Structure formats: structure tokens, C-alpha cells
């Protein structure tokens, strides 16, 4: 499905935005007419790669808003052997507190190298794009002033989490902190709540974004 150039470009554009986008906006991003782009998006929807929502308008008919589907694998379906290997490695690591701290430090160094280049908007949007690019399908919101909450709609590490959740989540917490070190050095993770990897819904709360 993503071997087709336009559909791959649309999928990548949604990943970069890290938020719902309407058909006209995506058409402008790929330089094509909205009617043709809609056909490609509908193909991606049928393949389970994107999700469509109907957004009411003050006048006229509702418009379509598109996001990457929560269970869509980033960049296509990875070979099963990678998932198995990740599970085996996670299962071989002891979840002792000292080991978890080491993993979080390692994840923080890695996260600083994973920030996607380019993009528009502020640091809240940039963290959303980074989490989207990693396959977490985040939904961003605000539950209290000065704090931004990302609810993760997908867990790209679910096989490894089943083998050893404390280890994998410690690494992910470190990656998130490393992303923030680059995107918004003054921001901090104030809540990190792992959930069932098959149901997803993990929560990351960040405080201290500039202008927040």
C-alpha cells in the first residue's frame, strides 16, 4: 500500500503533523487536487493505515479529518523476526531498580537523536510528531493549565512489553525525556503511566513548554 508514492507521501505528512488534518491541507502538502487525494486517503483507510473523523462546520457539511490509525505500524509492517528478537531481549534483562535507571539513561541519550527534522508549530506539536514517527499515534490534550497530555493510541513495542513491561517502559520514558531535551529543554515529564500494550492508552504528561 505504501509502495505507491502519493500514499506514502500522505502517510508521511500525517506522521510529521502529529495531529488530525483535513483533506485540503493534505492536498496542499502533496501538491495535488483534493478530490484525488481523498481517493488515496480512502484507500489508506480501507487498509487500516489512517482513520477518518467527521468534523462539524459552522456552515455547510462536515469535513473529513484524517489521522494515522492507532494500530498502523510506522512505515509498514516490520518483519516478525524483529518483534520476536525485541521480546527475547526484553525478557533477558532484569527489572531491578538499578538496571531500570540505566535503561532510562540510555533511552534519554537515544531520544535526543530521534527528533524528526523540520516541521511547523511549537514544541507541543514537535513532541507529538516525534511520538507519531515512533508509532505511538498520540492524541494531545490539556487536562490542567500548563500541562500537556499525550494519550498514546498504539504501542509499537507491544511484543517486547508483554515479555517485560518495566524494562521496555523505562527505556521509553528515557526516550521521551531525551526528545524533550532537544525539543523543549525546560520542559519535564510530570506523569508517565504505562497501560496494557494491546489496549494502548499510555499517558505522558509534560509541563513547562514555552508559552504554556
Question: Quick one: pLDDT at residue 175?
Answer: 94
Same domain for 89 and 41: no
Same domain for 85 and 61: no
pLDDT tens, residue by residue, 198-212:
888 899 999 999 876
C-alpha cell at 32: 495535488
What is the Cα–Cα distance from 61 to 41, expressed in whole angstroms? 19
Torsion-angle region of 126 (φ positive above 0: left; ψ -120 to 50: alpha; else: beta): alpha
Question: Quick one: pLDDT at residue 195?
Answer: 92
Same domain for 100 and 169: yes
Same domain for 139 and 203: yes
pLDDT tens, residue by residue, 65-119:
998 887 665 544 444 555 666 776 777 788 899 989 999 999 999 999 888 776 6
pTM equals 0.64
CATH number for position 176: 3.30.1380.20
Same domain for 122 and 18: no
C-alpha cell at 210: 514555552
Domain carrying residue 152? 80-207
Amino acid at each position: 500500500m505504501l509502495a505507491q508514492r502519493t500514499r506514502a507521501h500522505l502517510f508521511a505528512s500525517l506522521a510529521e503533523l502529529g495531529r488530525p488534518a483535513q483533506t485540503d491541507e493534505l492536498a496542499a502538502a502533496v501538491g495535488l487536487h483534493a478530490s484525488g487525494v481523498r481517493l488515496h486517503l480512502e484507500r489508506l483507510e480501507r487498509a487500516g493505515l489512517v482513520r477518518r473523523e467527521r468534523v462539524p462546520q459552522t456552515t455547510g457539511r462536515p469535513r473529513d479529518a484524517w489521522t494515522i490509525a492507532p494500530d498502523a505500524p510506522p512505515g509498514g509492517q516490520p518483519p516478525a523476526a524483529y518483534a520476536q528478537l525485541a521480546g527475547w531481549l526484553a525478557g533477558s534483562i532484569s527489572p531491578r531498580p538499578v538496571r531500570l535507571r540505566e535503561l532510562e539513561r540510555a533511552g534519554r541519550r537515544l531520544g535526543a537523536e530521534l527528533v524528526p527534522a523540520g516541521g511547523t508549530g511549537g514544541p507541543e506539536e514537535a513532541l507529538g510528531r516525534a511520538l507519531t514517527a515512533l508509532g505511538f499515534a498520540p492524541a494531545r490534550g490539556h487536562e490542567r493549565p500548563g500541562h500537556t497530555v499525550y494519550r498514546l493510541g498504539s504501542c509499537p513495542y507491544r511484543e517486547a512489553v508483554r515479555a517485560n513491561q518495566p524494562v521496555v517502559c523505562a527505556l521509553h520514558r528515557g526516550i521521551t525525556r531525551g526528545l524533550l531535551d532537544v525539543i523543549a529543554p525546560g520542559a519535564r515529564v510530570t506523569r508517565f503511566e504505562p497501560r496494557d500494550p494491546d489496549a494502548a492508552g499510555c499517558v505522558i504528561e509534560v509541563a513547562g513548554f514555552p508559552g504554556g
